Structure 1
Amino acid sequence: MKFLSSPLLSACGLALALAATTASAQVPIKMVLNWKYEGAQAWFFLAQDKGYFKEEGLDVTIDQGEGSAASIPKVAAGAYQAGFGDMNALIDLASKRPADAPVGVYMLYNTPPFALVVKSDSPIKTPKDLEGKTVGGPANDGALKLFPAFAKIAKIDASKVTITNMAPNLREQMLVRGQIDAGFGYVTTVSFSAKGMGLDPAKDLRFIRYGDHGMDLYSNTVFFARSFVKENPKAVQGFVKALNRAVKEVIANPEAGMDAVMKREPLLKREVEKEKLLATLKNDMSHPEIARIGLGDVDDARLTKNITIVVEANQLPRAPETKEVFDRSFMPARAERPSTTSAP
C-alpha cells in the first residue's frame, strides 16, 4: 500500500511533533502551600491559571498545606520540589541539617505576623504576664515554633508557661471558652477565624505582636529543595519570574486573584477571602524595606540578625550564613519587582 504525503498532512505532523516536544520539555514542580486554600495565596493560583508557569516551561501542581512550619520538612524529605512557609523554620533546619534544608528564593511575608492573642478583657497585658498561664496553638504554627526565641527576648520564664496543642479550627473557640488563656497565631489568620465565629477582632481580642518586642523577623518565603535548585536553576528562575508577574497583577487587580482562588475552593466566602488577601498585602507584605530593595528580596543585615535570634534562642548547633537560607539570584531585576503592595 502506498501513502501519499501532502502539505496539510506534513504541517499537521509538524504541529503534533512540536506539541509533543513542548509537553515533554516541561519541568514538573510539585509545590506545597503554607495552609488550606485561601485568598492570601491568590498569586500562585493566578500564575497557574493564566499559564505563566507554562510559559516558563513548567508543569506546576499546588497542594494545600498544614502550617507554615510544616511545609519545610515536606520539601526537605523530597515529597515536594517547592514550598511556601516560615523562614525561621527553614533556618532551624539549615542549622541542624544543612545538606537537607531548602533554600528561600522569593520573600513574600517580610513583616512579622507572629503574635499571641488574648481576649480584650484578659489580665495578660505584657509578655511577662504569660507566666502561670496556658497558651495554645496548632502544633505547626509559626508563632508557637518561635516562642522559645520570643520568651528569651521578652524575658519570659518559659518553664512557667503551659503549652497545649489543638486543631487549628479550635484555637479561637478554646480562647473564647476560657480553655486557654492565650493563643499562638498569625494576626491575619486569627482575626479572620474570629470573624467567622461572629467576633469583632478589634473589640473582642488583643494581640501581643512579636515584632513589637524586638523580633523583627522575616516570615513566609517561597523556597525550593536544595538539590532541585542545583539541578534545575532555569526552572527556579522561571518559577520566580512567573510568580512575580502574578503578584504584580493581583496587587493591581485583587478581583482577578480572587477568581483564581474561588476556582480552587468554591465553598469559600469570596468577600471574606478578598478581605484576607488585602489584609495580608497591608499587614504582612508591606515592610518599609521593599521601597528600597523591592518585594521578594531580603535585607542581608536584617536576615543575619534574624538568624542570630533564632539560633541563640533555640540553642541551635550553628548559625547558617544568609546565602545558605536565601538565594536572590533567581529573582527578576529590581525594576521588575513591586516597590509597594498597595493597590494603585
Structure 2
Amino acid sequence: MTAPRRLLTVTALLPLLLTATACGADGTEKTTGPSGRKLDKVTLTLNWYPYGEHAPFYYGKRQGLFEKHGIELTIRAGQGSQKTVLATGAGHSDFGWADTPALLSGVESGVRVRSLGVFLQTTPSSVQFFASRKIATPADLRGKTVAGTAGDALSRTFPVFLKKNGLAESDVTVQNTDPAGKIAAVISGKTDGLLGYASDQGPTMKEKSGRDVGYLRFSEHGLNFYSNGLIAAQRTLQERKELSRRMVRAVSESFAAAREAPGPAIAAMDGASGQLPPRRVLAEQFGTTLTLLHTPATQGKAPGVNTEADWRRTLDVFTEAGLVTRARAVSAYWDGATALKG
C-alpha cells in the first residue's frame, strides 16, 4: 500500500469544494452512545486509506476514548493529504488528518483551515532502497536514480536534504513516477530507490519483495520538519471551539493508549478497509510511527503537544524548499489556543 500525499494544485480544486454545501459543521447532529450519553457525531477524514499510522483512531474508538469526550467518531479514508485539507476547509469533514506541507500549501492558497496539533513531529521522509544496494550514507546516493513524484513535499524537500549533506541536485537523478508506481520501480530495478515515508512504503516494499529495506531518513541527516496532524476548518474552530478541544484530547489520549498496547491497537483496525495491509505490515508501520511522535522540545509531553519554535523551523524548511512563498505568523497555520498545552 502506498500513500501518495501529493501536493495537488489547490487553486484548481478550491472553487469546486468551497461552493459545495458544507455538512456537519453546525454542531446540530447528536446521537446517544452505548452508555446513554449524548454524543456529537463527528467525521474524521484520513490522509489516505487506513494503514498502521492510523491505529490509534480505531483503538481509541474501540476503547471508548472518543465517547468519553462526548464524540461518536466516524473515520473516513482519504485520497491524499491535499484533498483532505480541501475537504476539511470546505466543511465536508469535521476534522482531517493531513501532512503539514499540504496544510501550509492550502493556507497559502486561501483554504481557511488550521492545525490543532501535529502528532508526527519527526518527519518519516526518507530515501528507501533494498539493503543489498549498500547505501549507508547520503554520499552513497551519488550517481543513483530514485523514484519521486513531481511537486510533492518529498521531491520538493529532497534538494534541501542533498544540500545539507554536501550533495548537488545533479548528483542524484529523480525519476518522475506516479506515487502508486514507486515501489514497483524499485522492485523491478528501474530505480535504485524511492522517496517515501518510513512509516508507510518501506514495510509494504519489504512485504511485496521479501527483501530487506534500508532507509536514509531525512531527520537523521540534518533535516526535520512536522508531518501528519489533526486539522479543522477555521469555521469549526470559531463555532465549535469546545468540541474541537474535546477532539484534540481524545486523539491525544488514543495515541497514548495505543502506544501502550500496540498489538490490540493494530487488531482494532480489522475490517477498516478492503485495502488494509497485512497485520505484520501494519505492526511495522505503527512501530515506526511511534518513533515520530516528538521532537526534543516535546519529549515527555502528551502526543500532539506542539511548540511555536518547532512550527517556525518547519516553516523555514518549506520556505527554503519553495512550498511557502512568504511565511506568515505561526498562528496562521496552528491554532495554539485550542491545541493541547505542554
- The TM-score with structure 1 as length reference comes to 0.76
Question: 2:177 maps to what in 1?
Answer: 165
Asked whether the equivalents of residues 130 and 211 of structure 2 are also in contact (C-alpha less than 8 Å), the reply is no
Answer yes or no: is 1:135 the counterpart of 2:146: yes
Task: Trace 1:36-55 onto structure 2 (pairs within 5 A).
Answer: 36-55=49-68
How many Å apart are 1:319 and its aligned residue? 0.5
1:245-296: CA deviation from partner (whole Å, max 9, x where unpaired): 2222212222331232114248643343233322321x32254433354421
How many Å apart are 1:138 and its aligned residue? 5.4
Give the count of matched residue pairs: 308
State the one-letter code of the partner of 1:278: G
State the alpha-carbon separation in 2 of the partners of residues 140 and 61 from structure 1.
31
Answer yes or no: is 1:215 the counterpart of 2:223: yes
Asked whether the equivalents of residues 67 and 142 of structure 1 are also in contact (C-alpha less than 8 Å), the reply is no
Question: 1:330 maps to what in 2?
Answer: 338
Give the 3-state SS of the residue equivalent to 1:224 in structure 2.
strand
Question: 1:273 maps to what in 2?
Answer: 282
Asked whether the equivalents of residues 229 and 236 of structure 1 are also in contact (C-alpha less than 8 Å), the reply is yes
Identity of aligned residues (%): 22
Q: CA RMSD in A?
A: 3.2
State the alpha-carbon separation in 2 of the partners of residues 32 and 145 from structure 1.
25
How many Å apart are 1:73 and its aligned residue? 3.0
State the alpha-carbon separation in 1 of the partners of residues 91 and 143 from structure 2.
41
State the alpha-carbon separation in 1 of the partners of residues 293 and 250 from structure 2.
18
Task: Trace 1:164-243 onto structure 2 (pairs within 5 A).
Answer: 164-168=176-180, 170-201=181-212, 205-243=213-251
Question: 2:99 maps to what in 1?
Answer: 86
Which residue of 86, 89, 107 maps to 1:73? 86
Question: 1:261 maps to what in 2?
Answer: 269
Asked whether the equivalents of residues 141 and 184 of structure 1 are also in contact (C-alpha less than 8 Å), the reply is no
Say if 1:79 and 1:144 are closer, same or farther in 2 by CA, change over 3 A.
Answer: farther
Which residue of 287, 302, 306 maps to 1:298? 306
Say if 1:268 and 1:318 are closer, same or farther in 2 by CA, change over 3 A.
Answer: closer
Asked whether the equivalents of residues 159 and 169 of structure 2 are also in contact (C-alpha less than 8 Å), the reply is no
State the one-letter code of the partner of 1:279: T
Give the 3-state SS of the residue equivalent to 1:178 in structure 2.
coil
Asked whether the equivalents of residues 101 and 323 of structure 2 are also in contact (C-alpha less than 8 Å), the reply is no
Asked whether the equivalents of residues 60 and 258 of structure 2 are also in contact (C-alpha less than 8 Å), the reply is no
Asked whether the equivalents of residues 104 and 324 of structure 2 are also in contact (C-alpha less than 8 Å), the reply is no
1:286-336: CA deviation from partner (whole Å, max 9, x where unpaired): 5443335442112322221220121132063310222222223334554xx
Give the 3-state SS of the residue equivalent to 2:325 in structure 1.
coil
State the alpha-carbon separation in 2 of the partners of residues 138 and 308 from structure 1.
22
- The TM-score with structure 2 as length reference comes to 0.77
State the one-letter code of the partner of 2:223: M
Question: 1:339 maps to what in 2?
Answer: none
Unaligned runs of 5+ in 1: 1-19, 335-344
Say if 1:50 and 1:319 are closer, same or farther in 2 by CA, change over 3 A.
Answer: same
How many Å apart are 1:41 and its aligned residue? 1.0
- Comparing both structures, which one devotes a greater share of its residues to helix? 1
Question: 2:12 maps to what in 1?
Answer: none
Say if 1:160 and 1:186 are closer, same or farther in 2 by CA, change over 3 A.
Answer: closer
State the alpha-carbon separation in 1 of the partners of residues 74 and 340 from structure 2.
22
State the alpha-carbon separation in 2 of the partners of residues 159 and 271 from structure 1.
36
State the alpha-carbon separation in 1 of the partners of residues 153 and 124 from structure 2.
9
Unaligned runs of 5+ in 2: 1-27, 33-37
